[in-house]
Amino acid sequence: MRILLVEDDHLLARTMLDMLREDQNTVDWIDDGQKALNALADEHFDLVILDLTLPRVDGLDIVRRSRQQGNQTPIIILTARADLDEKLQGLDSGADDYLTKPFAMAELKARIRAVTRRGWAESPSAGIRVGCLTLNPDTGNLTIGHDSVTLPRSELQILHYLMRHPDQVATRRRLEEQLYGWEPGAESNALEVHVHHLRRRIGKTAIRTLRGVGYLLDSEAASKEPKG
């Protein structure tokens, strides 16, 4: 993989560079927030490992601005900010995972494997596939094993996002953005209703609830056709 490492702690960055390159990755190291934004705009990366406290541009701003510009490169935040609110803020901004300092390099490697693992394939002909689910985002057609159904727009928006990020937490705010744009919808329970309908279609265990945070598409459960 080609990885962008954004870290202004030079000692830590050199340790991480050695570890990442041992696994045959190509790593670009940047210690400045504005330079990181420029690199993300001009170059292609398979993964971003991002500190939050950076010169010139804060890491959260990098995540937000990258996502607003349509950049969907997986992002792992590394930071000493350990408060739950900080973690939720990072995930709500569009990061895929969050690891607090100090951390074990073995855990970072595991997080990298998790966010870069793709249990789906996306192409105009194949659509997105997770387990026995295949979704065509252009037509809204969902195939579940040997059965097919055309999803309503709201269910399509939610499932499309979950299938593009299997086994990763999707916060309520992130899913509401898929439905309403940047402003949340007026109906506070609308998201729960749409998820309930999706569960009836694809199986109750395929979409897990993380109370107070959001939802997660379980790729293992999605590999089993729903009963009944």
Residue 116 makes CB contacts below 8 A (sequence gap 6+) with 1, 46, 47, 74
Strands (E), the chain: 2-6, 26-30, 47-51, 75-79, 97-100, 128-130, 133-136, 141-144, 147-150, 170-171, 207-210, 214-217
Distance CA 41, CA 83 (A): 30
* Res 202: pLDDT: 93
**138 C-beta neighbours (distance < 10 Å), count:** 8
pLDDT digits (tens, 9 = 90+) for 46-93: 899 998 888 898 888 888 888 887 777 888 888 876 666 767 777 777
Amino acid occupying residue 156:
L
Residue with tokens 């930071």: 79
pLDDT digits (tens, 9 = 90+) for 31-54: 898 999 888 887 888 899 998 888
* Res 6: pLDDT: 92
Distance CA 21, CA 93 (A): 28
* Res 93: pLDDT: 77
125: confidence class by pLDDT, cuts 50, 70, 90 = very low
**What pTM does this model have?**
0.52
